[in-house]
């Protein structure tokens, strides 16, 4: 079983988008039973719903989603997940702080899997959910390719 946690600042835009995009990719590959995929935030307002822009992008691309509510990343999550994926470098820094480090090299920047050392911009500030979706899709496809080639 491969356990993946996607993380952004508030868990209402980028990380839930990545959660549902990855679940869709895994389902299309016929591997849903081999993965546990979730998302959380470094500093969420717990219980807040997913942003409308994220919902719209998922609908536009025919990606199923549930009524996701913002959840807090916890230090105990470190032992539960194989991959803890930050959407930007600030998230990665915050994840490492929350986790007390990264001795098992589980914490990664999403777009690094696609060979790019850059952030997935936060559409809460840019209002560009389309570009965020494209970056999330690129990163998730690359992450899934890495995982499947390692299996």
Cβ neighbourhood burial of 103 (10 Å; 0-12, 13-18, 19+): exposed
Residue 117 neighbours by CB under 8 Å, 6+ apart: 109, 111
Active site residue 127: no
Residue 14 neighbours by CB under 8 Å, 6+ apart: 6, 8, 54, 87, 120, 122, 123, 132, 136
Tell me what pLDDT residue 132 has.
Answer: 98
pLDDT grade, residue 150 (50/70/90)? confident
Average pLDDT over residues 94-121: 98
> pLDDT tens digit string along 122-140?
999 999 999 999 999 999 9
49 forms beta bridges with 69
Q: What is the mean pLDDT of the chain?
A: 97
Tell me what pLDDT residue 96 has.
Answer: 98
Residue 52 pLDDT more than 80?
A: yes
Options 94, 119, 122, 135, the catalytic residue: 122
> pLDDT tens digit string along 54-105?
999 999 999 999 999 999 999 999 999 999 999 999 999 999 999 999 999 9
- Stronger pLDDT, 10 or 151, i.e. the higher one: 10
Active site residue 8: yes
Options 14, 24, 42, 119, the catalytic residue: 14
Which CATH superfamily does the domain covering 2-150 fall into? Response regulator (3.40.50.2300)
pTM of the model: 0.97
Which among 83, 108, 69, 93 has a CA at the least distance from the CA of 5?
83
Active site residue 42: no
Options 8, 13, 42, 140, the catalytic residue: 8
Residue 151 pLDDT more than 90?
A: no
Residue 10 pLDDT more than 80?
A: yes
Task: Report how far residue 39's alpha carbon sits from residue 9's, in angstroms, rounded to the nearest whole number.
Answer: 11
């Amino acid at each position: 079983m491969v356990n993946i946690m996607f993380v952004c600042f508030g868990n209402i835009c980028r990380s839930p988008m990545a959660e549902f995009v990855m679940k869709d990719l895994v389902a299309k590959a016929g591997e849903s039973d081999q993965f546990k995929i979730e998302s959380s935030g470094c500093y969420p307002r717990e219980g807040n719903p997913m942003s409308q822009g994220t919902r719209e992008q998922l609908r536009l691309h025919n990606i199923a989603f549930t009524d996701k509510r913002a959840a807090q990343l916890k230090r105990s999550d470190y032992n539960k997940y194989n991959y803890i994926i930050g959407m930007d470098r600030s998230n990665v820094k915050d994840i490492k702080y929350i986790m007390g480090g990264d001795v098992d090299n589980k914490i990664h920047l999403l777009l690094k899997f696609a060979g790019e050392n850059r952030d997935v911009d936060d559409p809460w500030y840019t209002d560009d959910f389309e570009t965020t979706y494209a970056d999330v899709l690129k990163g998730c496809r690359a992450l899934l390719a890495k995982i499947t080639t390692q299996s």
